[in-house]
Amino acid sequence: MRSERAFKMRRSFAALIALLMALTVPACAVREEFTAEATGGSMVLTAASDDDAFSDVSDDAWYGDDVSFVRERDLMNGVGSGRFAPDDTFTRAQMATVLYRIAGEPSVSTGDSFTDVAPGAWYAASAAWAKRTGVINGVGDGGFAPDMPVTQEMLVTMLWRMAKEPYAEAALDASGYAATAVGWARARNIAPATKDYTFSPRENASRAQVAALLHNYLTREETPTMNEIMLTVSGKQLTVEWADNASVDALRELLKKGPLSVELSRYGGFEQVGALGTSLPRSDEQTTTEPGDIVLYSGNQIVMFYGSNSWAYTRLGKITGMSGEELTDLLDAGGVTATLSLAEGSANGAARSPGTSLRARGTWTVRANPCPTHRFVASAMAVKYAHEHYPQFQMGNMDCFITSYPMTCNPDDLVSIKHRRARRMARPSHKRRLL
């Protein structure tokens, strides 16, 4: 009798131990991936849900992270039955819908749209928005061609327009309408050239490639990096896409000695010009300038245009994010002073290392040991990595949650973290169309 009672107690104890192990020890097949996001001086770390995977996207697929990124943000959510169909093409209607979601789905009238878009079509609002904003111009005769597969150069041209058409050197292997956009996408590392995917402008974009390009676009580095040239005109800091040439390199070296203030003078009703006080290398070409262009004249003068002129200049860059009217208000005046300086370098730019992925608005992905003994150990490793690589965050101590089981973490192991199982962003309550 006593031995039977002891046997039952041992069996109950074994069951309890098994239950505790199930709560704390994950299967080795589970890949821990964490996203660390800045939230008012602290950092929130969340883990991917095991239920988020598509059945046709393997863990080691080159586009796996890209697919996770667009799904988490409800930009692309698959084709149904748990599939993503990475090799399928993507239509212009689908692309317009994704870009519309990125823009926040603003209210728009579907009455003034493309001629081949019915007001009741599922993509009607997206197409109307794309036409109104100029993100998509159509295919001629007022048509949209919603079912046409989107090419890779079409896609980056749409993204380039959403980015306010920044200056870039034109790509020679792209169609004329897309040449500047493709050059920009490559310069900003949006269009990759890796062993897994080399951007081919004129070819159709697969769904995997669409996910990769969107991921790269939305996580491109926007904060000033070390040695980036900053331009302030009459106290207003301007956004400039600087050219990649010897003149800009020499200007950057000059500014390492300290900021440079240039007194500008109006000339011809279309430009402001001022002496740099030194000469820079020049590679003059006959150029017809546009508002926002910044050029080098005679090797020793900087010129900023709010109008147009044709002359032999060396291109330095282009002011972006301002309309022609705004440029005229700023530059068509007397007593204008321009100050050139180098950014001191944010921790974002200075601390970034190979293999890390910089996320928009201070969000990064970090990975822990794929087979940890306990989940809190994996979390601590991920946080330690993030803390070491992004020291700008001042992190304090707080409680954390391991799976669904709350416990107080060792401050030395885990700081300012709330570890949750699901990291998918909040979804709208209405049913979303599969894309």
| Strand stretches in 344-402, DSSP E | 357-359, 363-367, 400-402
**Confidence band (pLDDT; 50, 70, 90) for 429?**
very low
Here the CATH number for the domain that contains residue 233 is 2.40.100.20
What's the mean pLDDT in 236-247?
89
The identity of residue 419, as a single letter, is H
The span from the CA of 316 to the CA of 298, in Å, is: 13
pLDDT score at 227: 67
The last residue of one of the domains, among 160, 187, 218, is 218
pLDDT score at 269: 94
Same-domain status, 209 and 261: no
Assigned domain for 323 exists: yes
In this predicted structure, the answer to whether residue 21 has a pLDDT above a threshold of 60 is: no
Same-domain status, 135 and 110: yes
In this predicted structure, the answer to whether residue 178 has a pLDDT above a threshold of 90 is: yes
Same-domain status, 142 and 242: no
Assigned domain for 356 exists: yes
pLDDT score at 353: 28
**Confidence band (pLDDT; 50, 70, 90) for 10?**
low
Same-domain status, 100 and 128: yes
The last residue of one of the domains, among 312, 343, 374, is 343
Assigned domain for 415 exists: no
Same-domain status, 116 and 249: no
Which domain covers residue 194, as residue numbers?
51-218
Assigned domain for 77 exists: yes
The last residue of one of the domains, among 189, 218, 247, is 218
Count structural domains, the chain.
3
The span from the CA of 191 to the CA of 156, in Å, is: 8
Q: Which two tokens stand for residue 151?
A: 């090419």
What's the mean pLDDT in 185-208?
90
**Confidence band (pLDDT; 50, 70, 90) for 326?**
confident
The span from the CA of 235 to the CA of 54, in Å, is: 51
User: For 216-225, 241-250, 368-377, which range has the lowest pLDDT when averaged over its residues?
Assistant: 368-377
Name the 3-class secondary structure at 234. coil
Segment 26-77, tens digit of pLDDT: 333 333 333 434 333 333 333 334 445 899 999 889 999 999 999 998 899 8
Assigned domain for 248 exists: yes
pLDDT score at 324: 84
Same-domain status, 250 and 372: no
What's the mean pLDDT in 240-267?
93
What's the mean pLDDT in 379-399?
40
Of 117 and 434, the one with more pLDDT: 117
What's the mean pLDDT in 323-348?
82
User: For 116-120, 137-141, 262-266, 395-399, which range has the lowest pLDDT when averaged over its residues?
Assistant: 395-399
Residue in this structure with the two tokens 């292997």, named with its chain if needed? 173
Segment 77-99, tens digit of pLDDT: 899 999 999 999 999 999 999 99
In this predicted structure, the answer to whether residue 344 has a pLDDT above a threshold of 70 is: no
Same-domain status, 183 and 261: no
In this predicted structure, the answer to whether residue 114 has a pLDDT above a threshold of 50 is: yes
Assigned domain for 78 exists: yes
pLDDT score at 226: 55
What's the mean pLDDT in 218-234?
76
Tell me the CA distances in angstroms from 426 to 72, 73, 384, 394, one per residue in order.
9, 8, 27, 27
The span from the CA of 410 to the CA of 154, in Å, is: 51
What mean pLDDT value characterizes the chain?
74
The span from the CA of 282 to the CA of 243, in Å, is: 13
In this predicted structure, the answer to whether residue 400 has a pLDDT above a threshold of 60 is: no
Same-domain status, 249 and 295: yes
User: For 83-87, 134-138, 226-230, 386-390, which range has the lowest pLDDT when averaged over its residues?
Assistant: 386-390
Assigned domain for 420 exists: no
Same-domain status, 69 and 188: yes
What's the mean pLDDT in 103-130?
90
Q: Whole-model pTM?
A: 0.50
The span from the CA of 132 to the CA of 128, in Å, is: 6
pLDDT score at 292: 93
Same-domain status, 199 and 233: no
Same-domain status, 198 and 168: yes
Same-domain status, 108 and 125: yes
The identity of residue 379, as a single letter, is S
In this predicted structure, the answer to whether residue 408 has a pLDDT above a threshold of 50 is: no
Q: Which two tokens stand for residue 276?
A: 């740099």
**Confidence band (pLDDT; 50, 70, 90) for 343?**
confident
In this predicted structure, the answer to whether residue 370 has a pLDDT above a threshold of 60 is: no
What's the mean pLDDT in 281-298?
95
pLDDT score at 285: 94
Assigned domain for 274 exists: yes
